[in-house]
Each structure stands twice: as structure tokens, then as C-alpha cells.
């Protein structure tokens, strides 16, 4: 029991920050993000015995959090595609507020969820293509295509924005 508690505390220490940031980009609300992380860890505690390989803990926790978020939406009877990070502007104080970063954040907000999610996993936490494929349960090539399109879309949006700025 003692070992389980120590192991669990290590998991909380190591990954709660990452899970919070990921949750934030899934739901766009601070309070909901923390709730999601709390629920994730409660479930993880319950099924900790099923985690055989410590190295897969981060992916395992991320998968649980994704699932908790999906359950939240199902409870609200909303479509997953309806996720809009509308609350972000009101919580700006938590972000880098330089204009170019704000423009990029806006572009990220407009990115379809299926492109934004793998990008968050890759850029923010360094998940590789295989790990992302495992979390989403999709082929590795599909992940590669989505990441490719995500960056292309961001580049296009940012180029468009630059053109607009230069015309003003």
C-alpha cells in the first residue's frame, strides 16, 4: 500500500502539470481543466494495478484524461466538434501576450480539434507519432497526416494575417 502511494504521488508530481495544460486545450476553462485532472487521477488510483509498465504512465494518464473529457461532453450532450475555446481571451493573463503569440493562439483556436489535439501532444509534451497513434487509436500515418495539415493550416493562417497587417 505504501509503495502504491509513493508511486501514485510520483505520478502526480511528474504529470499533473502536463495533464492540466492538455486539459486546458481540450476544454478551455481553468476550473474544468482542474476537475478533469482530479477525475483522471482518481480513476488512475483505482486502476493503478493495471499499469504494468511505468514508462507508459504518461500515455496511460493522457488516455484516461481524453476519456474523462469525452464523458463530460456526453453528459452535456454536446458534440465533441463543438469544442470552442471561447473562454481563452478572458483568461489571457495566463499566457504570453505578445501580438504574434496571440495571433498564433487565435489560429490554434480556429484549428479543427482533430488537428489541434495531436499538435498539442507533440509540441507541448514531445509525444512521438507512435505514442500519439496509441493514445488516439489511429494509424501512425493518419497522425502524421494530421500533424502535417495542422502546421500547413497554421502557416497559411499566419501568412494571411501578416498580409492583412501589411495592408493596414
C-alpha cell at 70: 469525452
C-alpha cell at 44: 488512475
The answer to whether 104 contacts another protein (rule: CB under 8 A) is yes
The answer to whether 115 contacts another protein (rule: CB under 8 A) is no
The answer to whether 67 contacts another protein (rule: CB under 8 A) is yes
Distance of alpha carbon 33 from alpha carbon 130, whole angstroms: 26
Q: Following CA atoms 73, 79, 82, 84 in sequence, which dihedral angle do they give, to the nearest 10 degrees? A: 10
Which of 114, 93, 75 is closest to 30 using CA atoms?
Answer: 93
Shortest CB 104 distance to another protein, Å: 4
Residues that bind another protein (CB under 8 A): 8-9, 12-13, 16-17, 20-21, 24-25, 30, 34, 37-38, 41-43, 45, 47, 49-52, 60, 63-64, 67, 70-71, 74, 94-96, 100-101, 104-105, 108, 119-120, 122-124, 126, 128-129, 134-139, 142-145, 147-148, 151-152, 154-155
Amino acid at each position: 500500500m505504501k509503495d502504491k502511494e509513493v508511486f501514485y504521488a510520483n505520478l502526480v508530481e511528474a504529470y499533473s502539470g502536463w495533464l492540466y495544460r492538455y486539459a486546458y486545450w481540450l476544454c478551455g476553462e481553468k476550473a474544468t481543466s482542474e476537475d478533469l485532472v482530479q477525475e483522471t487521477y482518481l480513476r488512475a488510483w483505482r486502476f493503478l494495478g493495471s499499469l504494468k509498465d511505468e514508462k507508459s504512465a504518461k500515455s496511460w494518464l493522457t488516455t484516461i484524461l481524453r476519456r474523462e473529457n469525452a464523458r463530460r461532453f456526453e453528459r452535456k450532450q454536446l458534440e465533441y466538434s463543438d469544442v470552442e475555446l471561447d473562454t481563452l481571451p478572458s483568461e489571457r493573463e495566463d499566457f504570453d501576450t505578445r501580438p504574434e503569440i496571440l495571433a498564433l493562439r487565435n489560429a490554434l483556436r480556429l484549428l479543427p480539434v482533430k488537428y489541434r489535439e495531436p499538435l498539442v501532444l507533440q509540441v507541448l509534451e514531445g509525444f512521438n507519432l507512435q505514442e500519439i497513434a496509441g493514445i488516439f487509436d489511429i494509424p501512425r500515418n493518419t497522425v502524421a497526416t494530421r500533424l502535417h495539415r495542422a502546421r500547413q493550416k497554421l502557416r497559411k493562417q499566419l501568412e494571411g494575417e501578416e498580409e492583412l497587417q501589411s495592408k493596414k
